[in-house]
């Protein structure tokens, strides 16, 4: 179903909402570029935008890039199987988390954007990450227009390379500005984030952690959200809390905790990690 608008085609994707809740999907910490708009949300990825909202028992996505956002929202994956797997694991917290968060979908985001974004995320909170990324986009990203209003694309390496360490400081990057500058230098001398897609899970993790400012946790997030490697189970402060309080774990080292969870959940790790993360954050707010 579609209609013409300003010489471009506006796609309208309609999906059953049982396993797709826009608010849960957007607010669970995997994406920072979205904002409330009319009855729903505007979502920006790279230089593309869509409007997503609930209508009756469905979710509607309006965009000029229907194919892109069909993939982006992972609409070809059957989430019922995933939720059932989580419910069968027989952990009380996970069952509640999966039951309440069954509308969460793992977004297939851009690797380049995820790498820079999750470098900002370290030792930071979601509210501040969101505002810092938005300020970055407004500062050097391309200004674009859409049927939903003007917006800024995520900047290219060339655009970000225009910024100095002081610029990053002024944008609120704190000590992380240096990591951007180092990464941009790598990219400008030939490093290609997209080429990492051909690596194995382990190879990808190692390649990412070899970058300055990218440790195990950031690499896991990039692996999951940027490369859709659902075997990844990022462990941050929230997940560590869950590990102790709800899985009664005794390991201290986060790398070991990650490996323990990945061993438990295999290719379902990424989804389950998001159910748990989202649930724990809601519980504490």
Partner DNA sequence: GTCCAGGCGTCAA
Partner DNA sequence: TTGACGCATGGA
By CB under 7 A, is residue 129 in contact with DNA?
A: yes
Binding mask 193-212 for DNA (x = CB under 7 A): ----------------x-xx
User: Shortest Cβ distance from residue 84 to DNA (Å)?
Assistant: 22
By CB under 7 A, is residue 217 in contact with DNA?
A: yes
Q: How far apart are CA 174 and CA 162, in angstroms?
A: 18
Size of the site for DNA (CB under 7 A): 39
- Structural contact between residues 107 and 72, judged by C-beta atoms closer than 8 angstroms: yes
Among 99, 175, 194, 245, binds DNA (CB under 7 A): 175
By CB under 7 A, is residue 127 in contact with DNA?
A: yes
User: Shortest Cβ distance from residue 229 to DNA (Å)?
Assistant: 14
Among 16, 125, 198, 250, binds DNA (CB under 7 A): 125
- HEC string of the chain? CEEEECCEEEEEEEEECCCCCHHHHHHCCCCCCEEEECCEEEEEECCEEEEEEEECCEEEEEECCHHHHHHHCCCCCCHHHHHHHHHHCCCHHHHHHHHHCCCCCCCCCCHHHHHHHHHHHCCCCHHHHHHHHHHHHHHHCCEECCCCCCEECCCCHHHHCCCCHHHHHHCCCHHHHHHHHHHHHHHHCCCCHHHHHHCCHHHHHHHHHCCCCCCHHHHHHHHHHHHCCCCCCCCCHHHHHHHHHCCCCCCCCHHHHHHHHHHHHHHHHHHHHHHHHHHHHHHCC
User: Shortest Cβ distance from residue 75 to DNA (Å)?
Assistant: 20
The piece of 43-51, 67-75, 197-205, 235-243 that touches DNA (CB under 7 A) is 235-243
Q: At 231, give phi and psi (nearest 5°).
A: -80, -5
The piece of 6-14, 75-83, 89-97, 171-179 that touches DNA (CB under 7 A) is 171-179
Binding mask 81-110 for DNA (x = CB under 7 A): ------------------------------
The piece of 37-45, 66-74, 118-126, 153-161 that touches DNA (CB under 7 A) is 118-126
Among 239, 257, 271, 272, binds DNA (CB under 7 A): 239
The piece of 39-47, 60-68, 199-207, 237-245 that touches DNA (CB under 7 A) is 237-245
User: Shortest Cβ distance from residue 243 to DNA (Å)?
Assistant: 11
Among 25, 65, 109, 121, binds DNA (CB under 7 A): 121
* Interface ranges with DNA (CB under 7 A): 28-30, 121-129, 169, 172, 174-175, 209, 211-219, 221, 234-239, 252-253, 273-274, 277, 281
């Amino acid at each position: 179903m579609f209609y013409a608008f300003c010489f471009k085609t506006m796609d309208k994707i309609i999906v059953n909402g049982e396993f797709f809740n826009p608010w849960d999907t957007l607010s669970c910490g995997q994406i920072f570029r979205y904002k409330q708009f009319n009855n729903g949300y505007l979502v920006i990825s790279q230089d593309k935008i869509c409007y997503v909202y609930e209508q009756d028992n469905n979710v509607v996505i309006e965009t000029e890039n229907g194919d892109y956002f069909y993939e982006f929202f992972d609409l070809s994956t059957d989430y019922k199987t995933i939720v059932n797997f989580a419910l069968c694991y027989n952990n009380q917290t996970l069952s509640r988390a999966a039951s309440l968060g069954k509308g969460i979908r793992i977004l297939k985001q851009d690797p380049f954007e995820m790498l820079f974004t999750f470098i900002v995320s370290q030792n930071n909170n979601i509210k501040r990450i969101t505002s810092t990324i938005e300020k970055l986009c407004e500062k050097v990203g391309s200004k674009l227009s859409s049927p939903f209003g003007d917006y800024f694309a995520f900047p290219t390496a060339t655009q970000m390379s225009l910024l100095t360490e002081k610029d990053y400081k002024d944008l609120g990057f704190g000590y992380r500005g240096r990591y951007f500058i180092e990464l941009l230098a790598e990219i400008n001398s030939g490093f290609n984030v997209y080429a990492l897609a051909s690596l194995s899970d382990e190879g990808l993790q190692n390649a990412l952690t070899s970058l300055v400012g990218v440790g195990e946790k950031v690499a896991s997030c990039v692996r999951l959200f940027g490369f859709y490697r659902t075997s990844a189970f990022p462990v941050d402060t929230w997940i560590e809390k869950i590990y102790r309080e709800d899985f009664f774990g005794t390991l201290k080292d986060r790398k070991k905790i990650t490996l323990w969870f990945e061993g438990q959940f295999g290719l379902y790790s990424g989804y389950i990690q998001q159910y748990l993360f989202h649930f724990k954050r809601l519980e504490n707010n």
